Chain A
Amino acid sequence: MFAKRERKYKSTPNRLGVKGWYGSLKYNMEKYLYLLHRITGVGLAAFVILHVILMSSRMFGEEAYHQIHGLLMNPYTDIGMVIVTAALLFHGFNGIRLLLHEYGILFVRPKRPVYPYRVSVKSSGVRLFTILMIILAVLFFIPVLYEYIIIWW
């Protein structure tokens, strides 16, 4: 979409690439939530595709289902399911935060910048909501973990 002249800057050697997603681990927490949201999102997309393909076995009857299900009956799948559930809970609750904040809902209004500056993502209300969403994700994860622990016991 940009002019030819700008194309030459594409080879700027100081461009961080994917490293810029996490940076130097010195940023605000939202940057790492962003990274985690992205990782869990791509991971869940892969899981959903796999899940639909594997579970389609049930339309071929009991035997086909048992064949596929037998392949998945191992502790690695269970650990995988715990990770998937954790990812899903994080993606969901962080997603609620993004859904509201990205349209300026429960966000702050522009104000006179007075030193020391308190930017939007760090202002107390927005931060509290972010932390609340993470706490909710953790709280919902407790019964999930409990369920899996019962099975392994």
Chain B
Amino acid sequence: MSKMEVKNIRFVVKRWDPKDGRFFESEYTVPVYRGMTVLDALIYIKENIDKTLAFRGSCRMGVCGTCGIVINGKPRLACETQILHLNTDTVYLEPLHNLPLVKDLIIDHTPFFEKQNKIKPYLIRRDMEEYWNPTREYLQTPEEHLRYMQFTYCLTCALCYAACPTTATNPDFLGPQALMNTYRFIADSRDEGRLERIAIIDNPDGCWGCHLAGACSEVCPKGVDPALAIQLLRREVAKIAFGYVEPVEGAKVAPSLQLTEKRITKGPPEFTVEGAEEKLKEFKIPKTIPVEKSK
């Protein structure tokens, strides 16, 4: 490794002891080089200083969303946080708030995912025949896609859930991610389950538990903006409460491709390997593989 400027930074880790059911703190000093992330530091600690430290991490590039921890009082992805960008000599690490703890920095995502499942995060269609035996894809224009595209970038890392002030006091609150996902499906032109979903979220534990603190959007590592989705969701709910119910016709199924079908019925040209094998044995590979016309 080439010469690198190394700075010693103190890491204070708030750890959960599941045996005794209490928190305790451990301190480590890590030599930090330029470009080192918090996850790198945690891996360094585990390899060189303390093998008992438990944390989770997988992809190291902000895609899997499993290394979410509270860094210096704010939920962040450990793999996307540059230590030197924090501009502190002491980095304080905690497990994510508002979620059950497993060990040290590891939290249990179960209630988070259960709430996501509550809002039926899948396309709901009326034509069950097509739903179970799909012939082709549903049609959607790029403009219709853009209405919910931003909300499909979610990693389910639960950072928003840890930052939300309502989840901090109300354990039944669905949370920013589940509500964002509700809007993602309501805004989807292929979906027909709008009223079904609104019936689930139209209560103080649903979309009305949000008070636009914007903390969820602030911490989101992918710019998904749950705060925006929840406000737009409320608009939809209010429209229905006002009696302004537009009939929602789900996107149509694409017409079957006549041209392709004709081509397919002809079938692909059948290869006979006999001639090719002989030539391969002679190590004389032809420029084109000889093909016999089928019938």
Q: Which residues of A contact B (CB under 8 A)?
A: 1-3, 5-6, 9-10, 12-21, 23-28, 30-31, 34-35, 37-38, 98, 101-104, 107-108, 110-115, 117-122
Which of B3-11, B24-32, B168-176 is near enough to bind chain A? B168-176
B65 close to A (CB within 8 Å): no
Q: Is the CB of B150 within 8 A of A112?
A: yes
- Contact between chains at A101 and B101 (CB < 8 Å): no
Known: A31-B213, A119-B220. A15 touches B168 (CB 8 A): yes
B179 vs chain A, min Cβ distance (A): 13
Name 7 interchain pairs, CB-CB below 8 A, sorted by A. Answer: A20-B164, A21-B169, A26-B73, A28-B218, A107-B228, A107-B231, A121-B214
CB contacts between A and B, total, < 8 Å: 165
Chain B, Cβ-Cβ closest to A22: B165
A14 is contacted by which of B101, B146, B212, B222 (Cβ under 8 Å)? B101
Task: List, in ascending order, chain A residues with CB within 8 A of B187's CB.
Answer: 110
Partner of A1, one of B73, B97, B149, B205: B205
| Given contact pairs A104-B234, A112-B146, A113-B153, a sample of 15 additional A-B residue pairs in the complex whose CB atoms are under 8 Å apart | A12-B98, A12-B100, A15-B97, A26-B74, A27-B163, A27-B213, A28-B218, A35-B165, A101-B212, A103-B234, A107-B232, A118-B223, A119-B223, A120-B214, A121-B217
Please give the residue numbers on chain B whose beta carbons come within 8 Å of chain A beta carbons, in ascending order: 16, 21, 23, 72-74, 94-101, 107, 110-111, 114, 118, 146-151, 153, 163-165, 167-169, 171-172, 187, 203, 205, 211-215, 217-218, 220, 222-225, 227-229, 231-232, 234-235, 238
Given A12-B100, A14-B98, A102-B231: A117 in contact with B223 (beta carbons within 8 A)? yes
B211 pairs with A34, CB closer than 8 A: yes
Residue in A closest to B151 when the chains form the complex, CB atoms: A110
CB distance from A66 to the nearest CB of B (A): 43
**Cα distance A1–B209 when bound, in Å?**
14
Say yes or no: A119 contacts B225, CB within 8 Å: yes
Whether A110 contacts B220 in the complex (CB less than 8 A), given A23-B165, A28-B214, comes out as no
CA distance A14 to B75 in the complex (A): 13
How far does the alpha carbon of A12 sit from the alpha carbon of B110 in the complex, in Å? 12
A104 to B186, CA, bound (A): 15
Cα of A2 to Cα of B173 in the assembled complex, Å: 10
Report B-chain residues with C-beta under 8 Å of the C-beta of A18: 168-169
Distance, CA A110 to CA B151, complexed state (A):
8
* B contact residues around A3 at 8 Å (CB): 114
Quick one: given A23-B73, A26-B72, A111-B146, are A14 and B95 in contact (CB under 8 Å)?
A: yes
Q: Are A27 and B235 in contact (CB under 8 A)?
A: no
Q: Chain A residue with minimal CB distance to B150? A: A110
Chain B residue at minimum C-beta to C-beta distance from A31: B213
User: Is there contact, CB below 8 Å, between A20 and B98?
Assistant: yes
Do the beta carbons of B107 and A103 come within 8 Å of each other?
no
Residues in B with CB closer than 8 Å to A13 are 16, 21, 23, 101
Chain B residues within 8 Å of A118, by CB: 223
Taking a contact as CB atoms under 8 Å apart, the answer to whether A121 and B227 are in contact is yes
Q: Quick one: which of B110, B118, B168, B212 has the most chain A CB within 10 A?
A: B212
Do B214 and A104 have beta carbons less than 8 Å apart? no
Residues of chain A within 8 A of B95, CB atoms compared: 14
Task: Report how far A27 CA is from B160 CA in the complex, Å.
Answer: 12
Contact present for A31 and B146 (CB under 8 Å)? no
Give the docked Cα–Cα distance between A10 and B74 (Å): 22
Q: Which B residue's beta carbon lies closest to that of A3?
A: B114
Q: CB distance B228 to A110 under 8 Å?
A: yes
A133 to B215 CA separation, bound complex (whole angstroms)? 20
* Cβ–Cβ < 8 Å partners of B167 in chain A: 20
Chain A residue at minimal CB-CB distance from B108: A9
